[in-house]
A and B are shown apart, each in its own frame.
Chain A
């Protein structure tokens, strides 16, 4: 199974520490997305890459958050100086681009998420 994989699945950290999450998308997908989900809410968009270019960032993405996709393959999401309000599930998703031969139905393929708990 070559679905979207995320690492680590769970991270517990103390307030003020930095954390980094990694996402490996489906190999032929050139679009990669980061979402955040808190309890009782739907996923909220954070940022989006097409290949290595970061094309869109949400206002939710404060300057403590940075995302990269250096070679257009895997991506990392780093949170600096974590706060308790950062506790959430961080979801990565990928999708084929418009050059894909498959009909684009808008579907994003999600990983299982990285759960962050900030103490």
Chain B
């Protein structure tokens, strides 16, 4: 039972354009949603989060949008840079403070 899904295993965008990474979830009890970035041979690093009571959170080039009725969230990166190339994981937190992760989307930003 996958409670958090990232349906696109990979995404390729041109430098300077917008990257949009998507995530769907099934459990309406999740209270926080997070995005993590992972480079090979490293642990995931936190990028941005959003509370379930909000619909948007912005931090520099990164914006996360939450649509609770659709149980969908997305991460927008504008403008995309080659250094953004990595695997991005969507995660959702339950009341026990545990994170459930999606399967990841590999983003490739071409110069």
Contacts and interface: CB of A to CB of B under 8 A. Distances in A.
A104 B95 CA distance: 12
B98 A48 contact: yes
Contacts of B101: 35, 42-44
A109 B98 contact: no
Given A40-B103, A41-B103, A111-B43, A95 B89 contact: no
B97 A31 contact: yes
Interface residues of B, number: 27
Given A42-B102, A42-B103, A44-B101, A107 B96 contact: no
A95 B44 contact: no
B103 A91 contact: no
A45 B45 contact: no
Interface of A: 4, 31, 33, 35, 40-45, 48, 55-56, 91, 93, 95, 104-113, 115
Interface of B: 4, 6, 9, 31-32, 34, 36, 41-46, 49, 51, 89, 91, 93, 96-104
